[in-house]
Each structure stands twice: as C-alpha cells, then as structure tokens.
Amino acid sequence: MLKKFLDTILFTEIGQGLKLTLRHMFMKKVTSQYPREKLVLADGYRGFIAHRRYDDGVERCVGCDLCEAICPAKAIRVVSDIHPEVPDRRYAREYTLDFTRCIFCGFCVVACPVNALSMTKEFAHSSFTRNGLIYSKEQMLALGDRAGADSDAYLKVRNMWEAESSGKDEGHYHFPPISLGG
C-alpha cells in the first residue's frame, strides 16, 4: 500500500520508461543509408528472373510452356516454335515476363525442366511506363548474362534446400555441362 503510494508520487513507472528510451538512444542504429550502403543479399534472394544459357552460349529455354502454366499471377507468356536452324529442337519464339504482375514466388524456376530460369539478386529495376517492365526474352537473357553468378547461386541454394527437406542426396536441379546442339 505504501509502496504503491510511493510509486505513484515518485513516478516510478515513468522513470523506468524514460530509462529504457534513454538506453536506446545510445544503442547501435538499425538504419542503413540505402543507396550508399547496401546490405548483402542472401543466395536464396528472389529478385528479377533471368534466362540462362548453356556453357557454350546457347539458350536453355525449350519453350515447353510449363512456366506459363504454373505462374499464379499469369505474368508469363510463351509462344514456342521449332528452331529454324537446328532440327528436332524447339525454342520460345516469343517469351515475355510482365514484372508488374510477377509476384516473385519462384514457381517458374521450380517448374522449368531444363533450368532455363533462375532468380537473380537484382531488384532495383524501375520504369516510367508499364511497358518498361514487360521483359522480352532478349532482356531476360541479358539479365542472365549480367547476373549469371547470382542465378547459379540461387539454383544451388534451392538444390540444397530440396535435398534437405526430401532426404535425398540432391534436388532436381542439374547443371549438365553439355549443350543441346546449335
């Protein structure tokens, strides 16, 4: 009773609160000054999606439409065709990914049977028009050429996660060094 009275007239609880805020004033700050000071992104970061190539420079995409089928945001459009130069090989004559609709879920990367798609660590793409964010296959290939190491790292990390959760030796991503003609 006396203690409660003393606590009230001496503002004990407010004093505790003031102590806490004062202590936080001298703590390390969490702000990072973004454009000048960038955080290191994890290998599993799901940034902009890139098209990948085989080691000899031939694009991996075979135009199978699986990514279009699985895309929950319906951001992908594929028009596949027979390769004009290599017989028995199909490719995507047109491939567009609408990054204004993409939700960066990574399903297309999982669905791709030839590991033609992967996610990079690039995220700061912006445009003044909507068309500027609808990427053609050429743009996505350029992205893959630019951030090839990131896309490899993403697939490797995915592989590791899948292996861990399934108990097998490795996940379903393979990196065949061979090319499929061309």
Partner 1 sequence: MANDLIGALVVMLGVLFVVLTMIAYLTYLERKILGFMQDRLGPMEVGPWGLLQPLADGIKLLSKEDIIPSEANRAIFRIAPVISLVPAILAFSVIPFGHDSFSILGLTLHPYIADINVGILLILALSSIGAYGILLGGWASNSKYSILGALRSAAQVISYELTAGMSVIGVLILSGSMSLVKIEDAQSGGFWHWYIFPQIVAFVIYVISGIAETNRTPFDLPEAESELVAGFFTEYSGMRFSLYYLAEYANMIIVSSIATILFLGGWNPPLPALGFIPPVIWFLVKVYFFLFFFFWIRATLPRLRYDQLMRFGWKIMLPVSFANIIVTGIAAYFLER
List 1, 2, 20, 124, residue binding partner 1 (CB under 8 A): 20
Q: For residue 81, with 0-12 CB atoms within 10 Å meaning exposed, 13-18 middle and 19 or more buried, which class applies?
A: exposed
Residue (3 or 28) nearer to partner 1, CB: 28
Question: How many DSSP H helices and E strands does the chain contain?
Answer: 6, 5
Taking the C-alpha atoms of residue 92 and residue 117, their distance in angstroms, rounded to an integer, is 13
Contacting partner 1 within 45-74 (CB under 8 A): none
Query: For partner 1, which stretch binds (CB under 8 A), given 17-25, 51-59, 133-141, 154-162?
Result: 17-25
Taking the C-alpha atoms of residue 168 and residue 158, their distance in angstroms, rounded to an integer, is 13
Tokens of 153: 């790292």
Asked if residue 27 binds partner 1 (CB under 8 A), the reply is yes
DSSP class of 11: T
List 33, 126, 129, 165, residue binding partner 1 (CB under 8 A): 33
Asked if residue 181 binds partner 1 (CB under 8 A), the reply is no
List 1, 3, 5, 30, residue binding partner 1 (CB under 8 A): 30
Binding site for partner 1 (CB under 8 A): 14, 17-18, 20-22, 24-25, 27-31, 33
